[in-house]
A and B are shown apart, each in its own frame.
Chain A
Amino acid sequence: GDSVTQMEGPVTLSEEAFLTINCTYTATGYPSLFWYVQYPGEGLQLLLKATKADDKGSNKGFEATYRKETTSFHLEKGSVQVSDSAVYFCALSDRGETSGSRLTFGEGTQLTVNP
């Protein structure tokens, strides 16, 4: 079945540092890929997405590129802020006939940014 693997956390960075959170996936079909973010005390919200190979999703300074050859969708940001402290989830949706828009999530990576 489908699966998503994220880099182990937690991750602690200083403000303005470069961020990478690794994500790799296994899927039988041709999935769409997502990053969701969960701020403290809140539900998840979509950060960015990519629906086909070589697409780059971007939002709020975060970027991720859909790499079919390496089955990866790594999240990057050039300069993190304290307000980026949150849990980040990589996810996929294989859009299959029986699965529709159900999402498969990775384990989540806790990011803490210190001033």
Chain B
Amino acid sequence: DVKVTQSSRYLVKRTGEKVFLECVQDMDHENMFWYRQDPGLGLRLIYFSYDVKMKEKGDIPEGYSVSREKKERFSLILESASTNQTSMYLCASTKRRWETEAFFGQGTRLTVV
């Protein structure tokens, strides 16, 4: 089975802190994605990556950056956390660029106080 693992289930951070959310997949997938999930808004794409060291902005990239130094790992970085970034963050991967089935991690619930 494909496994997508997010490093934390719950995080509490202070306003202004730099926050790292880590995601690792174990099936050699090419594509990785970071989504944010908020009630009534569904999932919104923050950033995605089709290859190592490449990244593309999604629909809501402001206040975030990403890093993909290795194929299996995709990190989401909140440069200076704010309370409006309190949310559930979901990582996903797909095998190839136009592969349509996405595999999701369990999510990280981030609270910024």
Residue ranges of A at the interface with B (Cβ–Cβ < 8 Å): 4, 6, 32, 34, 36, 41-46, 49, 51, 89, 93, 95, 100-108
Determine the distance from Cα of A34 to Cα of B94 in the docked complex, in whole angstroms: 14
Known interface pairs A43-B90, A44-B90. Does A103 touch B102 (Cβ–Cβ under 8 Å)? yes
Determine the distance from Cα of A23 to Cα of B4 in the docked complex, in whole angstroms: 27
Could you say which residues of chain B place their CB within 8 Å of the CB of A100? 31, 48, 50, 97-98
Across the interface, do A43 and B31 meet the contact criterion of CB distance under 8 Å? Answer: no
- Which of A45, A49, A51, A89 is B42 in contact with, Cβ under 8 Å? A89
Q: Which residue of B lies closest to A104 (CB)?
A: B45
Across the interface, do A51 and B104 meet the contact criterion of CB distance under 8 Å? Answer: no
Across the interface, do B105 and A43 meet the contact criterion of CB distance under 8 Å? Answer: yes
Residue ranges of B at the interface with A (Cβ–Cβ < 8 Å): 4, 31, 33, 35, 40-45, 48, 50, 58, 90, 92, 94, 96-102, 104-107
Could you say which residues of chain B place their CB within 8 Å of the CB of A44? 43, 90, 92, 102, 104
Known interface pairs A43-B90, A43-B105, A100-B31. Does A49 touch B58 (Cβ–Cβ under 8 Å)? no
Across the interface, do B40 and A107 meet the contact criterion of CB distance under 8 Å? Answer: yes
Determine the distance from Cα of A93 to Cα of B92 in the docked complex, in whole angstroms: 14
Q: Which residue of A lies closest to B90 (CB)?
A: A43
Q: Which residue of A lies closest to B93 (CB)?
A: A101
Across the interface, do B100 and A34 meet the contact criterion of CB distance under 8 Å? Answer: yes
Determine the distance from Cα of A107 to Cα of B97 in the docked complex, in whole angstroms: 25
Known interface pairs A101-B31, A102-B33, A102-B48. Does A107 touch B42 (Cβ–Cβ under 8 Å)? yes
